[in-house]
């Protein structure tokens, strides 16, 4: 997608006013929608999230979001909050500091949002409203009152945009319908995305919203998919749409067309263990599924993958993280994502480049689709071989899309086809790959599209005779936590290089330094007390400075200052490494690193303050003692 794409997600679930009940869904909505919109293989949006902001902050961020845009920009604004209607009939969006009797001063009016959308120079603007209109009115609350039906779309009249090409509004519900959070409006349920936003995320993430199977999810596709999904889940909730658009708006790439494998379900005993109420039993089942995920028989591995995806979505955080970590092993991992063939003479034999696919067999099983006809792909034992045809001159630029069972990867291919030796110009009438009749300079380039189906290649891992399968161990019923069998050194090297993970070790070092600083400060204070007692016993002839030096109170104080400062520096470096390379760390490593650095910081700062004060006291008072 060539247009610049920006998204602003506003999620408010906590309100100062007691009449506005706490919502469960907005935080989950924001996280799920941000992930799928930001994914370059799906939405490719630049995403900003505003969570539990005041009305003033919301207005500033909304107006700033629509200002200074270009015609090529596509903007998406998503609200997940309470919707309120004033006595005069105007719709407002509740902020964290909204006071229902003072809506004009403490909430964001829909007309303000409409004005920003109408004034923007962006080519297209889309507004998603997942607002709980009926749910805003708590039972027994005197501060929030319903004043008639809320017709949401009437608040966004179909005015012609000032500069853009159009805009659209899609609402989770209209009138006084509830915008359901899950299957009910109970406040004590576990947090999960709302029915509406869950449908949006699922439709984009899976590609199922691509109803016409053209490779893109249009606004109309997404609305039809969300409408059916929401109505199936809750017949009392009806999404609505209003749009003034010229042409078709594509919101995301479609992930449909991934390779599909007929799965062999995991053994019944393993499925029973996954449904157990015992955490350790489910943990043991996940570890067993992880082994099956690496199976050479793809149907067995695919069955394990589907069970692990279900666990990652629905189990508690501890078990879900374990399942997600296992699923990360089967992501597509080509050895190169960019191939530059350089300068190639026209008509020369095609040059070949090999790309290795890492990971277990299920990760290496994929479909390779060249998006330009001059790219050729052949399967090899370890991955694929890519070559370029040199029948025409010009600059070549295209992609090979790899589609596996879990995700996609793109290999970008470039080459420059030069005139053959002894010739300065191409033959008359010979089309160039860039769409002109000559070289690449200034020739119009056709829109990239998929190559013929005959160019699509299935990459399959080498066939290995299946080994006899032993039944799952009895530990599947009462497992003890255990680590999966580590791969051999040869397999580890073959699969994927392991990145260096420094952050947890640095965090542990920071904590050790902080503990050392505390210990040396305590030692220094003990020796100082002894020196003061000796000074008191010496009477008028005593000298506290001499007593301090005799007791060696200054040395541990200096060590305390050094180790305390080092603890803060090492902890800061650990957090920096965590932020710069967060994709290399599991959630457990991230959580552990943050905990260790926070404890180290909490110990080092007060110790440093006390040590500095002690040092200042010594320097100021030494001449008077």
Residue of higher predicted confidence among 134 and 36: 36
Cα–Cα dist 25/81, whole Å: 9
Q: Using the predicted structure, report yes or no on whether residue 3 has a pLDDT greater than 50.
A: yes
| Alpha-carbon torsion angle 540, 546, 551, 555, nearest 10 | 140
Q: Using the predicted structure, report yes or no on whether residue 604 has a pLDDT greater than 60.
A: yes
| DSSP SS3 for 597 | helix
List the beta bridge partners of residue 166: 124, 245
Q: Using the predicted structure, report yes or no on whether residue 96 has a pLDDT greater than 90.
A: yes
List the beta bridge partners of residue 9: 49, 78
Q: Identify the pLDDT of residue 153.
A: 60
Q: Using the predicted structure, report yes or no on whether residue 8 has a pLDDT greater than 50.
A: yes
Q: Identify the pLDDT of residue 394.
A: 86
- Please answer whether residues 126 and 77 qualify as being in contact, where contact means their C-beta atoms are separated by less than 8 angstroms: yes
The two three-digit tokens of residue 216, written as one number: 């893109």
Q: Identify the pLDDT of residue 620.
A: 72
Mean pLDDT lowest among 152-156, 324-328, 500-504, 575-579? 152-156
Q: In this predicted model, what pLDDT tens digit does every residue of 506-527 receive, in sequence order?
A: 888 889 998 999 999 898 888 8
- Please answer whether residues 181 and 173 qualify as being in contact, where contact means their C-beta atoms are separated by less than 8 angstroms: no
CA 5 centroid distance within chain? 17
Cα–Cα dist 437/417, whole Å: 14
**Alpha-helical runs (H) found in 333-462:** 361-364
Please calculate the CA angle 307-408-383 and round it to the nearest 5 degrees. Answer: 100
Q: In this predicted model, what pLDDT tens digit does every residue of 170-208 receive, in sequence order?
A: 888 765 454 545 444 334 344 455 888 889 998 888 788
What is the bridge-based pairing of β-strands 166-171 and 240-245? Answer: antiparallel
Tell me phi and psi for residue 232, to 5 degrees: -65, -40
Q: In this predicted model, what pLDDT tens digit does every residue of 137-154 receive, in sequence order?
A: 333 334 444 444 555 666
* Residue partners of 484: CB distance under 8 A and separation at least 6: 287, 290, 291
Using the structure block, give the residue that is written with the tokens 């089309």: 431
- DSSP assignment string, 151-187: -GGGGS--PPPSSSSEEEEEES--TT----BTTB--T
The two three-digit tokens of residue 82, written as one number: 């309470």
Q: In this predicted model, what pLDDT tens digit does every residue of 53-67 receive, in sequence order?
A: 999 999 999 999 999
Cα–Cα dist 529/114, whole Å: 71
Q: Using the predicted structure, report yes or no on whether residue 425 has a pLDDT greater than 50.
A: no
The two three-digit tokens of residue 262, written as one number: 């007929």
The two three-digit tokens of residue 351, written as one number: 């040059």
Cα–Cα dist 424/426, whole Å: 7
Sheet (strand 352-356) strand order: 352-356, 383-388, 375-379
Q: In this predicted model, what pLDDT tens digit does every residue of 98-107 receive, in sequence order?
A: 998 899 999 9
Using the structure block, give the residue that is written with the tokens 């290399």: 584
| DSSP SS3 for 540 | helix
Q: Using the predicted structure, report yes or no on whether residue 127 has a pLDDT greater than 50.
A: yes
DSSP 218: E
The two three-digit tokens of residue 428, written as one number: 């008359």
Q: Identify the pLDDT of residue 187.
A: 41
- Please answer whether residues 3 and 73 qualify as being in contact, where contact means their C-beta atoms are separated by less than 8 angstroms: yes
The two three-digit tokens of residue 576, written as one number: 């920096």
Quote the pTM value. Answer: 0.45
CA 76 centroid distance within chain? 18
How much is the average pLDDT of 241-258?
Answer: 77
* Residue partners of 396: CB distance under 8 A and separation at least 6: 372, 374, 388, 413, 414, 415, 416, 417, 433, 434
Q: Identify the pLDDT of residue 356.
A: 93
- DSSP assignment string, 101-134: GGHHHHEEEHHHHHHHHHH---SEEEEEEEEESG
Q: Identify the pLDDT of residue 436.
A: 39
Mean pLDDT lowest among 139-143, 392-396, 399-403, 544-548? 139-143
pLDDT category of residue 548 using cuts at 50, 70 and 90: confident
Cα–Cα dist 580/562, whole Å: 27
**Alpha-helical runs (H) found in 328-462:** 361-364
Among candidate residues 206, 361, 381, the one with its CA nearest the CA of residue 299: 361
Q: Identify the pLDDT of residue 60.
A: 96
The number of C-alpha atoms within 13 Å of 406 and in the hemisphere containing its C-beta is 25
Q: At what angle do helices 544-551 and 503-538 cross, to 10 degrees?
A: 130
**Please, what is the average pLDDT of the chain?**
78
pLDDT category of residue 373 using cuts at 50, 70 and 90: confident
Among candidate residues 421, 600, 583, the one with its CA nearest the CA of residue 515: 600
Mean pLDDT lowest among 180-189, 237-246, 600-609? 180-189
Q: Identify the pLDDT of residue 428.
A: 43
> What percentage of the chain has pLDDT greater than the value 70?
75
Cα–Cα dist 249/484, whole Å: 47
What is the bridge-based pairing of β-strands 352-356 and 46-51? Answer: unpaired
Tell me phi and psi for residue 411, to 5 degrees: -110, 115
Q: Identify the pLDDT of residue 90.
A: 83
Q: Identify the pLDDT of residue 10.
A: 95
User: Exposure string (b/e) for 607-618, b if CB count within 10 Å is 16 or more?
Assistant: bbebbeebbeeb
Residue of higher predicted confidence among 478 and 307: 307
The dihedral through the CA atoms of 589, 590, 592, 597 has a sign that is positive
């Amino acid at each position: 997608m060539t247009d610049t794409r920006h998204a602003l997600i506003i999620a408010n679930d906590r309100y100062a006013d007691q009449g506005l009940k706490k919502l469960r869904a907005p935080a989950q909505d924001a996280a799920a929608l941000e992930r799928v919109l930001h994914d370059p293989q799906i939405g490719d949006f630049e995403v900003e999230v505003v969570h539990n902001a005041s009305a003033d902050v919301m207005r500033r961020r909304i107006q700033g979001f629509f200002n200074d845009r270009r015609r090529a920009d596509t903007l998406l604004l998503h609200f997940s909050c309470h919707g309120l209607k004033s006595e005069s009939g105007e719709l407002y969006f509740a902020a964290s500091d909204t006071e229902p009797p003072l809506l004009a001063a403490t909430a964001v009016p829909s007309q303000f949002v409409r004005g920003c959308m109408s004034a923007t120079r962006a080519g297209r603007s889309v507004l998603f409203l997942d607002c709980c209109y009926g749910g805003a009115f708590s039972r027994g609350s005197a501060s929030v009152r319903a004043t008639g039906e809320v017709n949401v779309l009437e608040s966004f009249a179909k005015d012609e945009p000032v500069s853009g090409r159009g805009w659209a509004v899609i609402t989770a519900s209209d009138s006084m319908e509830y915008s359901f959070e899950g299957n009910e409006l109970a406040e004590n349920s576990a947090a999960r995305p709302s029915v509406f936003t869950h449908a949006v995320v699922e439709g984009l993430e899976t590609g199922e919203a691509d109803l016409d199977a053209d490779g893109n999810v249009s606004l109309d596709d997404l609305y039809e998919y969300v409408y059916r999904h929401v109505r199936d889940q809750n017949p009392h909730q009806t999404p609505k749409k209003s749009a003034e658009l010229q042409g078709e708006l594509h919101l995301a790439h479609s992930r449909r067309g991934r390779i599909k494998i007929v799965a062999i379900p995991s053994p019944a005993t393993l499925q029973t263990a996954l449904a157990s109420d015992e955490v350790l039993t489910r943990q043991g089942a996940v570890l067993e599924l992880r082994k099956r995920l690496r199976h050479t028989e793809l149907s067995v591995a695919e069955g394990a993958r589907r069970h692990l995806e279900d666990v990652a979505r629905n189990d508690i955080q501890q078990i879900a993280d374990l399942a997600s970590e296992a699923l990360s092993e089967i992501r597509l991992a080509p050895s190169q994502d960019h191939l530059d063939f350089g300068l190639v003479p026209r008509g020369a034999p095609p040059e070949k480049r090999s790309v290795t696919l890492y990971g277990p067999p299920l990760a290496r099983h994929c479909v390779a689709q060249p998006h330009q006809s001059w790219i050729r792909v052949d399967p090899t034992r370890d991955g694929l071989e890519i070559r370029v045809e040199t029948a025409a001159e010009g600059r070549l630029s295209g992609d090979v899309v790899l589609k596996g069972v879990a995700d996609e990867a793109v290999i970008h291919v470039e080459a420059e086809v030069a005139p053959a030796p002894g010739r300065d110009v191409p033959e008359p009438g010979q089309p160039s790959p860039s769409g002109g009749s000559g070289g690449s300079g200034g020739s119009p380039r056709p829109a990239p599209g998929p190559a013929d189906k005959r160019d699509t290649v299935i990459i399959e891992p080498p066939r290995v005779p299946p080994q006899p399968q032993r039944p799952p161990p009895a530990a599947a019923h009462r497992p003890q936590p255990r680590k999966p069998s580590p791969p051999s050194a040869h397999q580890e090297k073959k699969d994927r290089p392991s990145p260096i993970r420094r952050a947890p070790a640095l965090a542990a070092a920071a904590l050790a330094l902080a503990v050392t600083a505390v210990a040396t400060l305590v030692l220094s204070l003990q020796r100082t007390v002894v020196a003061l007692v000796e000074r008191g016993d010496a009477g008028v002839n005593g000298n506290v400075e001499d007593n301090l030096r005799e007791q060696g109170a200054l040395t541990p104080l200096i060590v305390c200052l050094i180790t305390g400062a080092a603890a803060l520096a090492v902890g800061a470096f650990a957090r920096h490494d965590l932020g710069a390379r967060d994709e290399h760390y599991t959630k457990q490593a991230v959580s552990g690193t943050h905990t260790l650095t926070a404890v180290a910081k909490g110990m080092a700062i007060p110790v440093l303050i006390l040590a500095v004060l002690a040092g200042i006291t010594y320097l100021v008072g030494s001449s008077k003692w």
